[in-house]
Structure 1
Amino acid sequence: MPTTNTIVHGVVLLNYVGSIGYDLLYVRVPPEAIRFNTYGGRMKFLTFWDMLLQGLFFSICLLNDIVGTNEPNPKNTPIIRKVKDTLFASLAFPLSMFVGLTFWGLYAVDRELVFPKVLDKYFPVWLNHVMHTNIMIFVFIEMIMNFRSYPKRKTGISILAAFMACYLVWIHIIHHYSGIWVYPVLEVLNLPLRIVFFAALLVLIVFMYLLGEGLNNILWSNQIKAVKSNKAKKRH
């Protein structure tokens, strides 16, 4: 009989698979909306990277429900559970929060900087919310539903920094070949301001990592103490 975890993870996974499929098959933006039709396609956007990542993460969650365990302190932690915990801590939570908050923050200031109004007739409102709102809601649900052991902070932040460095290199490759910045906000900034902008975003996403770690510590303080106590007993 399906558990609550299995049902929730299955529904969330279907949400991502269905939305990505709809985007690929039915969203057709004309050439005048040039950023959607230049070098890199949809893969130029961090939002799409995040959608694929969230789909992967909840696939792992579902697999862990079936062959792994969600117990806070299992005797032998399966590899799938270790992968799930590390992926949530280092990428799934901080990246979803980063994408959602930066998108809606810039949207509130001037939507033309991130999502020009011309796209409204081609890009459904519901799909926009799946990509920029649901991502935050679903990781919060996962945070509340299941305990996870965070990796060492150095490890988690290193994985996150490597991921963001890859994306930063990617958008510069796109600019090199197409002459266009992925996000309009970058076109209104000169080089020094772009450097400051990227540095500020790096600080923000690291803060998102620390936020996730802090929330996990608050929500699951008793379980964390039990895990630490169990590890101490094993060492002795």
Structure 2
Amino acid sequence: MLKILFHLVGAIQFFYGCYYDYNYVIVPPSPKSPSTFGGKFKYLTYLNAMLQTLYFTIALLNDLIGSEDVTPSEKPLIRRIKDAIFSALAFPISLFVGITFWGIYAVDRELILPKMLDAVFPAWLNHVMHTNILLFTFVELASSFRMYPPRKRGLSILTTFMLAYVVWVHVIYFKSGTWVYPILAVLSWPLRIIFYIFSLMLVFGFYTLGETLNKSIWTKEVEITVKSEKKKAK
């Protein structure tokens, strides 16, 4: 029952965060941001909040109609989707968004969330998008067992998502003449490339961290499931 309630609260709060941001957070035009091309969908924070909404909704449905058995003979499709989304996307991207946001914010908030936006981007929404994603992700990791996909497959999904987003950022730049994030405007092209590579390595590290923590917290369940799958494959 507590797990159902947790997933319900997660789905509702991230959905409402996306809804409020999309409908009520209107950034006033300025010389630094003359174009609205891409709308809210140009921000990784917003895309991640949508991803969290999707994940917690699927997790809730899995609670109601799926299975949490550690060695199910046939895991239902919704359970497999749930495990894959959390492992390859929801966990590493949440850590990337939350940690990089607050890290850059601590150095110079004008590079990530200019003070002028405080009037339209409320503090509670900032914490839903950048703080709660970390809290809910770690609670989810500790409270629900999942089998990580083979590392090659998981990293392939994550890499595809991150590279697609980098391409999207550049489409926006070439269409509008402005960068999605002010920090990109102060970097030269060589430094931007280094920044992208560093970001990719960082999110890979977060994937590995999630995989390692999952094995540490759910050691017995992982061993039982691996043995069961090996027997099934014979």
C-alpha distance in 1, partners of 2:97/2:232?
A: 40
The residue correspondences of 1:1-236 to structure 2 (distance < 5 A) are: 3-32=1-30, 34-35=32-33, 38-236=36-234
Q: Deviations over 1:90-144 (max 9, x none)?
A: 0000000000000000000100110001001111001001000101111111101
Matches of 1:137 and 1:56 in 2, distance apart?
17
Structure 1, gaps ≥5 residues long? none
Residues 96 and 202 of structure 2 are in contact (CA less than 8 Å); yes or no, is this contact kept in structure 1? Answer: yes
Could you tell me how far 1:65 is from its partner in structure 2?
0.8
Contact 2:55 2:90 in 1 (8 A): yes
CA distance in 2, matches of 1:25, 1:229: 49
Check conservation: 1:106, 1:113, Cα contact below 8 A: yes
What is the aligned length? 234
3-state SS of 1:90 partner: helix
- The residue type paired with residue 70 of structure 2 is P
Distance across 2 between alignment mates of 1:235 and 1:17: 40
Q: Name the CA shift for 1:173/1:235 in 2 (closer, same or farther; >3 Å).
A: closer
RMSD: 1.3
Aligned AA for 1:211? L
What are the superposed Cα offsets for residues 182-219 of structure 1, whole Å, 9 maximum, x if unpaired? 11111111111111111000000000000000000100
Given that 2:58 and 2:78 are in contact with CA atoms closer than 8 Å, whether structure 1 keeps it comes out as yes
Supply the distance in 1 between the matched residues of 2:136 and 2:71 (Cα, whole angstroms). 23
TM-score w.r.t. structure 2 length? 0.97
Question: What CA distance in whole angstroms lies between the structure 2 residues aligned with 1:143 and 1:33?
Answer: 43
SS in 1 for 2:18: helix
Q: In structure 1, how many angstroms separate the alpha carbons of the residues matched to 2:26 and 2:65?
A: 39
CA drift of 1:67 comes to 1.0
Shift of 1:35: 3.7
CA drift of 1:232 comes to 2.6
Identity across aligned pairs (percent)? 48
* 1:202/1:190 CA distance change after superposition, 3 Å: same
In structure 2, the CA distance between the partners of 1:16 and 1:122, relative to structure 1 (3 Å rule), is same
- Aligned counterparts of 2:31 and 2:156: Cα–Cα separation in 1: 35
Residue type at the aligned position of 1:72: V
- Tell me if structure 1 keeps the 8 A contact 2:35–2:178: no
CA distance in 2, matches of 1:128, 1:33: 24
Aligned partners of 1:235 and 1:165: how far apart in 2?
Answer: 34
Shift of 1:22: 1.4
171-180 or 73-82, which deviates more = 73-82
Q: Deviations over 1:32-68 (max 9, x none)?
A: 2854852111111000110111101111101111110
AA at the equivalent of 2:191: L
